[in-house]
Amino acid sequence: MAAGRRISGVSHTTFIVRALDRTAVFLCEGPGARETYDSAGGDFSRSREKFFLLGDTWLTAMEGEPPAVRSYQHIAFKVEAAAIPKFEARPRALGVDIERGRSRVAGEGGSLYFHDVDNHLFETHAGTPGEHLERYGAAT
């Protein structure tokens, strides 16, 4: 396919939140993001927003009305298996709800789930799509 005619990846993910400053603390002190922008008074989008980098992933938080209820819809961040306890300690220190990873098929990789105060679900996950497919194929 010609260049420019296919999607090359995910640009960014936007979360709608009640309080940007509270979300900044959560993202920076929890999973370890770095704040890179705050529109504060110079809003170019629908409302005030902040940008963050977590690894090479661009996250945006925008003020508004977040989801009313929790769901399993989530974003998962790739981590090494040995780092999962570290990523449990950070959100736990912020007082957010932590869920142990769902029961998994052996070889699928470990996970840790945690909610922010605006009902968004985040996951730290040690595993690759290839590992999942290989294991799921072996389980059928």
Tell me if residue 80 is catalytic.
Answer: no
DSSP letter for each residue of 51-68:
EEEETTEEEEEEES---S
Contact indicator for 116, 52 with CB cutoff of 8 Å: no
Please tell me the distance from the alpha carbon of residue 125 to that of residue 108, in angstroms, as a whole number: 10
Catalytic option among 29, 35, 49, 108: 49
Judge whether 26 and 117 are in contact, CB under 8 Å: yes
Contact partners, residue 91, CB within 8 Å, separation at least 6:
26, 30, 31, 98, 114, 122
Which residues carry out catalysis?
49
